[in-house]
Structure 1
Amino acid sequence: MASQGIKGPPCKFIHGCTKEISKLKKDVMMKMNEPMTNVSHEILPIVEPHIHKWNKLYGDIKKILGDGLVATEGKKWARQRRLAHLAFHGESLKGMIPAMVDSVHALLDRWQKLEAKEVELFEEFAMITSDVISRTAFGSSYIEGREIFQMLSELTIVVSINLFKLRLPRIRKIWKTSDDIKSERLEKAICDALLGIIEKREKKVNVGEMDDYGNDYLGSLLKAYHDPDKSKRITIDDLMDECRTFHLSGQETTTSILTWTIFLLAIHKDWQEEARKEVTDVFGNEDPNHEGIMKLKTVGMIINESLRLYPPVVNTIRKVVRQVTLGDLVLPQGIALQIPILTIHHSPRIWGDDVHLFKPERFREGVAGAVSNDAAAAFLPFGLGPRNCVGSNFTTTEVKIILAMILRHYSFTVSPDYVHLPSQILTIRPQHGLKVILHPL
């Protein structure tokens, strides 16, 4: 790649670029601790300061980083993709809407009883999305499922904070850090809890209490786990991996989108009122339903602009499986490409000089109308192609339901104590939470 003009930071022996990345991220955290005065949505220098710096030194967003990605491929990937698709789309998705609405009612009931109307929304949304995903994934076993997802959230934090800490594999067998011990404990607890749910389901089927393993996502996975055709059967490790995928798609991503969309609406009261008017026009005093959700054009525009400014996942990696020509570049087989989603979403060359402004009207004609034809793939909060996020429909449906029900009951403003420091812990989240002041309507 160097012979084709692709340059990058010098890669040090053993630790590569991880020390520089860790230092740049630490420097940002040290500077950003004051309450909000002027909010800037130019978050690339904050969330990915290393990419921001390297772009200036080595050119625009053509970056080749990493040495591969462990992911399922071929027939196994296609089988697992079909299982997830069944859970996240069509009639299955429609059937999840009542559970989503019930969870939001519980949230609103809790808010109504609060004496102080200042709430920390990131934690509130983490709880409600955990409740929704647990009910939809585990059905009657949702209480145990919720505990599993809570442990997965803890594991996510542990893994993320150690992402750029390099240690030799053999050293870990001799000496383990407290985070190593904690992550191993969490993984064992998650596995044990999941096996417990599986055994309960299997026992109910065996004694005749249930006709099959159920119609929820866990039921679908169990049917695949017990498939008579061994070539189609999944392993317990596959089942665990699918629960992790469901957790990322259904909770982490949704929590991030909700948090930043509410944040943007709390700052831009004109768009908050526009969204509230549309929700009232579509639903009146009724709960959200599938047909009405499809009519929320303004809310959809707002969500898309939120996804552009604050994409839940800031980058993704794709492996080149065979040599391919990309523009003037020849990409050899086997290298890994980092797709810098946040960088692309914040590129003035693609989106214009107002790239860092909140302007939902960009999407008035849909995603296709927001950018020129030669940049049609520049909006990719859920990825693109066959490996795009399988839970994108689930996530946007849940976000629309929660936003619609909150907008109908409350207006909201950002607390003066809010510190604007987006950070990356798997997804983009506010480092110090998101405090807002609720105003009952």
Structure 2
Amino acid sequence: MVLVPWSLLAYGLLGLVLLWQGGRLLHRLWWRPRRLELALRAQGLRGTSYRFLTGDLREYGRLNREAWARPLPLRCHDIAPRVAPFLNNLVKEHGGGKAACISWFGPMPKVTITDPDLAKDVMSNKFGHFEKLKFPALSKLLSDGLASKEGEKWVKHRRILNPAFHLEKLKRMLPAFSACCDELISRWMASIGADGACELDVWPEMQSLTGDVISRTAFGSSYLEGRRIFQLQGEQAGRIMSCIKKILIPGYMYLPTKNNRKMHQINREIESILRDLIGKRMQAMKEGESTKDDLLGLLLESNMRHTEGNGQSNQGLTIEEVIEECKLFYFAGMETTSVLLTWTMLLLSMHPEWQDRAREEIIGLFAKNKPEYDGLSRLKTVTMILYEVLRLYPPAIAFTRRTYKEMVIGGVAYPAGVIVELPVLLIHHDPDIWGSDVHEFKPERFAEGISKASKDPGAFLPFGWGPRICIGQNFALLEAKMALCMILRRFVLELAPSYTHAPHTVVTLHPMHGAQIKLRAI
């Protein structure tokens, strides 16, 4: 009998806890989204209405499935309706005159800003009240490196990483770029048939090339171990995208589903390989071996200099932080350049007159010699082509930020907790900025440089903008130039009859059904 009151008290406390948790959930999933929606609409913003829990995710998925079921005509570069149908429709319906418009990522309001000047303001963080939109459980599985850091942590990581990407350091990596391209071309030449040609899907070929490049330039002589990392990173990215919509379910990433277990297993294997490589390199440095000119050696040297120079270990990176930066080397270094090279080869196959002009420039500068930095920096036609490919087919079709304090931009007060979406693809395809020929492949628009290519000198954003602009953009462009020089000297590129023009997004902009090209040996 004595236990009854205590039992009642326990049940009462449990009821209060459940009621409190239920109230928090209701606030997060209903009252807070409604309050934010009212605050934004009161300032004249239009867009979709909030739907409980899922927001626009169902409509987003439905439109993607419909658009991705239909390929585009060959040589059609008006890709936004297929690549981002929901975003394209949203801006057409609600974003007239560069007005910002509202949509919903689950219970989180998302405001899309297509005005390039306002987009630059957001990316430059001039107001100081934006942060990267990130999901810690996912970041840890792919890379919790520089791209996901904020504030003082970002400053420290960027300061330590910068020396590895100085131009003088990149010049020393050109032999590794060249060696990887030689291996690729030798493999292709071995596939040439009696008719002097062969057909290849160059999408996996470019992934393999850029994976080898980042393996050699990141880990030097240990690049074979590095190759295993980029294979695992590729699988990890696909698995993460398959569950991206489910991350809104609280605790979903910690459920023991088959996919979640596999992602954690892949992450453990990647970290184990990296920990071993880093440990061996640090031991060699302690024993007096000279620092190698690969990214890992340069990173560890810079890290040691900051640690010893300040006499404080917290001024440097921990082993775990170095591991995360190495994971980022792989994903960003391999993914962005492979996407750029794949679309460049496809567009040069679609527009052979530009392929001929590029080849003429390359042979005029290098003849049969190995491309070197001074020559690569003088490639005007090739550079124009790469910029136009990045404009029409940007690897990242949008950047996102989130407000963590109320702030005003473009005359609109954004409360804390609003996602700000900057649609690079739509800005790059805006006829008001680029002209009526916006969907045509016209590299000559970059003949006088980026600033004079459009009506708005800041409307070209493939690598972002401001202090957080991609640290590896010079690495990517140098690698792409080297690869194109060596490929175009040896092969003529033609679209294969089996090629289907179907760009779509899997983290970055991929060819859905591959990139089949016929290579003719020169």
For this structure pair, what is the TM-score category when the shorter chain's length is used for normalisation? over 0.9
1:292 maps to: 375
Q: Structure 2: how far apart are the matches of 1:43 and 1:15?
A: 27
Q: CA deviation at 1:126?
A: 0.5
Residue 323 to residue 282, structure 1, CA distance change in 2 (3 Å): farther
CA distances 1:328-360 after superposition (whole Å, capped 9, x unpaired) = 333445533111000111111211111111011
1:151 aligns with 2:151: no
1:224–1:232 Cα contact (<8 Å) kept? no
Q: Structure 2: how far apart are the matches of 1:84 and 1:21?
A: 37
SS in structure 1 of the partner of residue 55 of structure 2: coil
Q: Structure 2: how far apart are the matches of 1:297 and 1:425?
A: 31
1:195 maps to: 275
Residue 219 to residue 127, structure 1, CA distance change in 2 (3 Å): same
SS in structure 1 of the partner of residue 149 of structure 2: coil
1:258 aligns with 2:336: no
1:347 aligns with 2:411: no
Q: CA deviation at 1:198?
A: 1.9
> Rg larger in 1 or in 2?
2
1:415 maps to: 496
Instruction: Specify which of 418, 421, 424 is matched with residue 335 of structure 1.
Output: 418
Q: Count the aligned residue pairs.
A: 433
Instruction: Specify which of 387, 394, 404 is matched with residue 485 of structure 2.
Output: 404
1:91 maps to: 168
1:249–1:390 Cα contact (<8 Å) kept? no
2:185 maps to: 108
Q: Which moved further from structure 2: 128-137 or 149-158? A: 149-158
Q: CA deviation at 1:171?
A: 4.8
Q: Structure 2: how far apart are the matches of 1:394 and 1:178?
A: 37
CA distances 1:145-168 after superposition (whole Å, capped 9, x unpaired) = 221122111111111232233552
Q: Structure 1: how far apart are the matches of 2:65 and 2:359?
A: 39
Instruction: Specify which of 62, 68, 78 is matched with residue 42 of structure 1.
Output: 78
Instruction: Specify which of 322, 325, 347 is matched with residue 239 of structure 1.
Output: 322
SS in structure 2 of the partner of residue 423 of structure 1: strand
Instruction: Specify which of 17, 41, 53 is matched with residue 14 of structure 1.
Output: 53
Q: What is the letter of the counterpart of residue 69 of structure 1? A: L
CA distances 1:258-307 after superposition (whole Å, capped 9, x unpaired) = 01111111011111111111111111111111000111011111111100
Q: CA deviation at 1:11?
A: 2.6
Q: CA deviation at 1:323?
A: 5.0
Q: What is the letter of the counterpart of residue 285 of structure 1? A: K
SS in structure 1 of the partner of residue 251 of structure 2: helix
The runs of 5 or more residues in structure 1 that have no matched partner are none
1:381 maps to: 462
Instruction: Specify which of 423, 447, 450 is matched with residue 364 of structure 1.
Output: 447
2:331 maps to: 248
2:8 maps to: none
Q: What is the letter of the counterpart of residue 382 of structure 1? A: F
2:388 maps to: 305
1:69 aligns with 2:133: yes
1:213–1:223 Cα contact (<8 Å) kept? yes
Q: CA deviation at 1:322?
A: 5.6
Instruction: Specify which of 30, 35, 56 is matched with residue 92 of structure 2.
Output: 56
Taking only the aligned residue pairs, the percentage that are identical comes to 37
Q: What is the letter of the counterpart of residue 22 of structure 1? A: G
Q: Structure 2: how far apart are the matches of 1:225 and 1:289?
A: 30
1:218 aligns with 2:299: no
Q: Which moved further from structure 2: 60-69 or 131-140? A: 60-69
1:249–1:395 Cα contact (<8 Å) kept? no
1:4 aligns with 2:43: yes
Q: What is the letter of the counterpart of residue 265 of structure 2? A: R
1:144–1:193 Cα contact (<8 Å) kept? yes
1:142 aligns with 2:223: yes
Q: CA deviation at 1:79?
A: 2.0
Q: Structure 2: how far apart are the matches of 1:171 and 1:336?
A: 21
Q: Structure 2: how far apart are the matches of 1:155 and 1:317?
A: 21
2:64 maps to: 25
Instruction: Specify which of 257, 266, 269 is matched with residue 177 of structure 1.
Output: 257
2:43–2:412 Cα contact (<8 Å) kept? yes
Q: CA deviation at 1:225?
A: 5.9
SS in structure 2 of the partner of residue 338 of structure 1: strand
The runs of 5 or more residues in structure 2 that have no matched partner are 1-39, 109-131, 135-147
1:64–1:336 Cα contact (<8 Å) kept? no
1:425 maps to: 506
CA distances 1:196-251 after superposition (whole Å, capped 9, x unpaired) = 11222234345x3x536644222244346663422212133322331233223311
Q: What is the letter of the counterpart of residue 90 of structure 2? A: W
Q: CA deviation at 1:64?
A: 5.4
Q: What is the letter of the counterpart of residue 77 of structure 1? A: W
Q: Structure 2: how far apart are the matches of 1:25 and 1:427?
A: 15
2:192–2:521 Cα contact (<8 Å) kept? no
1:103–1:131 Cα contact (<8 Å) kept? yes
1:390 aligns with 2:454: no
